[in-house]
Amino acid sequence: MSETKPTVPLDIRTQVPMPGRRVLWFSGVSASPAAIRLVCFAHAGGAPSVFRDWSSHLGEHVQVVPVLLPGRGLRLWEPASTDIRALASDVATALIEQGFLDRYAFFGHSMGALLAYEVAGVLRERDVVMPERLFVSGSRAPHLYGTSLGTELTDDALLTWVKELGGLLGSGARSQFDRRLPTLRADLRACEIYRPRAQPPLDCPLTVISAVGDPLADEEQVDSWRGYSTCSTRRRRFSGGHFYLVGPHRFSLLRELREALAPYICDPDRVAPAGGHRRLRP
């Protein structure tokens, strides 16, 4: 039987193979001593830039680790995935290999909340200790996905819809949107066809965050996250709509994160060394 050759990434401009190119899940971030790491998952079409200044607000003892998914930033040469559960498996592997799971929490917004939840499930299957806390934001509970989220819209209609949600700001909104359109459509498709895996509730505390007037995740849909953890569930509501985390209302979110992570900062015995993880299955 003939051996299948691995796919070699191509330069997006010249289509010349680039065999030395390395996949970057956490661009510019490496394991360093921290009281706790906050691994962050962006919304559909989003990129790590959403979390650009979070470190300055959360303090030096919290290492912010944005996840760089295929189809954006330095991974623009890769097609965006439409399979959240497969993506979760890849992210879990990358987190373990990078050594980010000594003491950590997850934050995910919208599609990122689904991905964070699925990654936590994969890590449990691999016998890795659960996150200290899972923050899910701007997302209905996993079992409430499976409806249309805009992939059937024309480009212009989709642009209008994203603007109405508050996801594009400034004079360069159209060019920014056009660049991200293929990735956005792939991400929306991933959410539309997503079905949560059959698994028991997670064994970690949960903070469930919604924004007033969010048409994609109303209060009842967001409240349904309560059944997804065996531990305590903290409920928070902020102003600002679906994309509250990229506007002035994000400071309410950052204050909530800072307060929730404070116990790991104030207790010096909780500071973990860089580059480790616990309870890994051989």
Which residues are designated catalytic? 110, 242
Spell out a b/e string for 48-82, using b for 16 or more CB atoms within 10 Å of the CB, else e.
bebbeebeeebeebbbbbbbbbbbbeebbebebbb
Residue type present at position 265: I
DSSP label at residue 18:
-
Using DSSP's 3-state secondary structure scheme, residue 206 falls into strand
Query: Residue 252 pairs with which residues in a beta bridge?
Result: none
Contact 40, 64 (CB under 8 A): yes
Residue type present at position 174: R
Using DSSP's 3-state secondary structure scheme, residue 13 falls into coil
The rounded distance, in Å, linking the Cα atoms of 61 and 261 is 10
CB burial of residue 192 (10 Å; 0-12, 13-18, 19+): middle
Query: Residue 47 pairs with which residues in a beta bridge?
Result: none
The rounded distance, in Å, linking the Cα atoms of 197 and 50 is 28
Using DSSP's 3-state secondary structure scheme, residue 268 falls into helix
The rounded distance, in Å, linking the Cα atoms of 215 and 242 is 7
Q: With the C-alpha atoms ordered 228, 218, 113, 70, is the resulting torsion angle positive or negative?
A: positive
Query: Residue 234 pairs with which residues in a beta bridge?
Result: 207
Using DSSP's 3-state secondary structure scheme, residue 56 falls into helix
Residue type present at position 9: P
